[in-house]
Structure 1
């Protein structure tokens, strides 16, 4: 019965936290953590223990796949060097700094590195805490970093645990091989999963079946990666990026709308529930500590959080200036950001689901049967740092205002460009489409008139909401209008492939076209 009670309570908590976030401006994950801590004080919920398999197999594939699906591949290409540095070198440096800090507090080096691996990666879903305050470009870079760095952290974690329990001995060859298997195997599994399911998707016209295929993609990739001991996290991310590129080409409007609605709701529930569960689990972490150990662990939480922020800020500034010294190309200069912007990025390294999963995945015993050293401390400090690192989100909006980040006008400019290009292309193709469909001349004449008026509005007012929606009429006009929509989609995909517009712009335009198409298809005999 506790399971049903937990579902109802978590659902009610998510509703309350969303309302509270809208009214107070405090990020919803912060409120969700607080509610979870309060729920953990209730004995029935405080005894709850969340298995790491639940986080790794239920939450992470779905959440990370959806984040990758909505991430800009163009921005990843544009900032690939910075993303690579922060998702690999910064992760290892952060893990080492945390390990040194934990060792100074009395932890043996092995468990200290396990703690460092757990807390080194940033969290893609936690970045959404500040999503509405940051320019789109900076937000995309933070998300991309968080999507990739999990693979590095999991390799460090596996090596550290293997050494502690007595299964592995470190060597340069062994470490290099682990990284190759993790990254290459994970990405390969994700690519294979996406390609196979996309091939099936091309043969499917049923909306429910198409939505089910979307559901299976991240979990299939994760499973394939786990079977070869690679990174399931990277598999889900790779699959999401591939499907984001193919969905506009092979998907239908009803299927896309259902997928976006279903996954948007599902990931809201999963992400919110995860933060509530983290708060609840914190009670179990506290119960594992007593007296002096608890005081020492609290000190380690604060020290670790400070070290993590310091290392991240130092790396962002030092790496940026080193790149400026080495690479002076004009193209590179266009990618530079201000020191204030870099400071905001340094404070935006939130931790979340992956850190939670790593911490509770620490084994309880060694090969000898002895207890895993300092496991309770690792779990407690991880939970504590997740909470502490989210607290700056309360003040980060003020920091962002202080930073005076430049307005990101590129999305609006690209959106207007896409509207003009698709509308012009559709207008030019209209006579050909009318001939192919053998439509009545009156239908062609009416649509040509409306499209000319629409183009005049776009050229006169860039802010005009140019979704191209026109009243529906019978027969030929509807068929011709659908052909025009298809032509616009073709142009949109071409502009995206030529990197003239971003994935986010394509999705925004596609949403408008999908809505218009569905209105035409749902009730073609009804006039507006």
Structure 2
């Protein structure tokens, strides 16, 4: 019963926390952490804890898979060297710096390295939100870093936990071999599982089955990788990148839409639940600390935050000079970043879901039955580090972005417009042939051609006052608004017919299903075009950076 109470309590906390955050214009994770802390005061919830293995297995694979699925493989390839350096050497440097500082403050080396590994990786979800306001290259580097660095951090984490439990022994050769095996094995596991999943999915048409396989693929890849003692994180990331690349060709449109809806809900829920759980565990950790231990924990947390920030700034302002000394090719010089963009990337080191999951997954006891050393302190410090990045760093990022002069470059929007123009023009050229092949009525043919001609003209030309991009976005938004008004009117009419006994409830539901599907489609279309218009207004200076019409975050 207590486990069911925890599920209900976490659900209520997510519902109220996200709702309050939207009204108060506060980052939802902040209120979710607070809600988790408050739940810790409920007596029935104090004794409930998730099994450590369940945290990593249930939450991480799906979260990482979906972040990888929605990433750009092309941009990752273009910036691969920087991403690899950030996601490996920087993570090791951060974990080492935190471990050294924590050991100097009284932790044994094993727990100190566990803490360092937990707080070393950045969070893909938080970086994804920030990426909307950045040039695509920088956003891609930050997002890809946060995907791959989880694998590095969890290798260090696994080794540190194993040493503390007495199951591992440290040596340079052992660490190097473990890293190589973990990375290569994780990639192989992800490739093998994804290949088999794709062979099955390409033969399916049922959206439910696609949804089920979309959830099972990262979980299976992660489970097999972990069972063979390689990186489950990289297995899930490789799977997401591959499926995201081939899904436009292999899967039907209705299956893609269902999967996007379900996976979007699942990943959002999982992220929110992790923040509530870490707040609950942090409160539990505080109860396990006496007044002296709490003061010591706060000191460790402050020092760890300072080390994390210092190491990231130090790395991003020194590693480029090492690269320049090695690689002097002209194309490399063209891709170099100046000081302000590097300062922005340094300030974007948010911590989140992976750090929470790693901290919560620390075992409660050693094989001897004794408590895991400083587990409560590790959970407490990790929670404080996450809270600091959310409460202090995140609110400053818009100002840092403006100071760096790196507003969104609009490159993705220009490519989107180019794709729409190209696809419409090609479709119009082929329309007579398609209509003849299908035996389409001439009136239908003319109506569709008129609609596409009008949309293509707006995309290409715009008008004298607005320009093509803004005109196209305005046209689409007005079209969607009118279409939604018509749908609402039709819905009211069929409900009134049901109330007056002209049709029964079954007929109403069948008509309503079609209207609801149409409404969802037009609502999404209006949302996308409103967001595009807001970005265009801000890019062209028609609204300020703080104007709510241009606020996409």
TM-score, with structure 1 as normaliser? 0.83
Change (3 A) 1:304 1:422: same
Gaps of 5+ in 1: 473-507, 516-528
Q: In the TM superposition, what are the counterparts of 1:52-63 in structure 2 within 5 Å?
A: 52-63=52-63
Change (3 A) 1:215 1:168: closer
Equivalent residues of 2:274, 2:357 under 8 A apart:
no
Distance 1:351 1:48 in 2: 25
The offset of 1:192, in angstroms, is: 1.7
Q: 2:406 aligns to what?
A: 405
Equivalent residues of 1:123, 1:352 under 8 A apart:
yes
Equivalent residues of 1:26, 1:394 under 8 A apart:
no
Q: 1:422 aligns to what?
A: 423
1:313-341: CA deviation from partner (whole Å, max 9, x where unpaired) = 11111122333444344433443334233
Q: 2:170 aligns to what?
A: 170
Task: Say whether 1:226 aligns with 2:233.
Answer: no
Equivalent residues of 2:55, 2:361 under 8 A apart:
no
Q: 1:315 aligns to what?
A: 315
Task: Say whether 1:454 aligns with 2:455.
Answer: yes
Distance 1:255 1:345 in 2: 36
Distance 2:330 2:428 in 1: 38
Change (3 A) 1:449 1:375: closer
Gaps of 5+ in 2: 463-467, 484-520, 529-553
The offset of 1:459, in angstroms, is: 1.6
1:466-498: CA deviation from partner (whole Å, max 9, x where unpaired) = 87999x9xxxxxxxxxxxxxxxxxxxxxxxxxx
Secondary structure (helix, strand or coil) at the match of 1:289 reads coil
The offset of 1:121, in angstroms, is: 1.3
Change (3 A) 1:211 1:372: closer
Equivalent residues of 1:137, 1:408 under 8 A apart:
no
Distance 1:292 1:98 in 2: 21
The offset of 1:187, in angstroms, is: 1.5
Change (3 A) 1:398 1:24: farther
Secondary structure (helix, strand or coil) at the match of 2:124 reads coil
Q: 1:358 aligns to what?
A: 358
Q: 1:121 aligns to what?
A: 121
Q: 2:21 aligns to what?
A: 21
Q: In the TM superposition, what are the counterparts of 1:482-497 in structure 2 within 5 Å?
A: none
Change (3 A) 1:416 1:129: closer
Q: 1:41 aligns to what?
A: 41
Task: Say whether 1:103 aligns with 2:103.
Answer: yes
Equivalent residues of 1:285, 1:376 under 8 A apart:
yes
Equivalent residues of 1:29, 1:129 under 8 A apart:
no
Change (3 A) 1:227 1:436: farther
The offset of 1:40, in angstroms, is: 1.8
Distance 1:41 1:47 in 2: 11
Change (3 A) 1:134 1:13: farther
Secondary structure (helix, strand or coil) at the match of 1:429 reads helix
Secondary structure (helix, strand or coil) at the match of 1:163 reads helix
Distance 1:212 1:160 in 2: 35
The offset of 1:342, in angstroms, is: 2.2
Distance 2:360 2:10 in 1: 21
Change (3 A) 1:17 1:128: farther
Q: 2:288 aligns to what?
A: 288
Distance 1:188 1:79 in 2: 22
Distance 2:328 2:415 in 1: 27
The offset of 1:166, in angstroms, is: 2.9
TM-score, with structure 2 as normaliser? 0.79
1:237-292: CA deviation from partner (whole Å, max 9, x where unpaired) = 11111111111111112111111111112222111111011111101111222232
Equivalent residues of 1:14, 1:32 under 8 A apart:
yes
Secondary structure (helix, strand or coil) at the match of 1:125 reads helix
CA RMSD of aligned residues (A): 2.8
Q: Which has the higher contact order (CA 8 A, sep 6+)?
A: 1
Most deviating of 461-470 and 89-98: 461-470
Change (3 A) 1:364 1:281: closer
Change (3 A) 1:9 1:397: farther
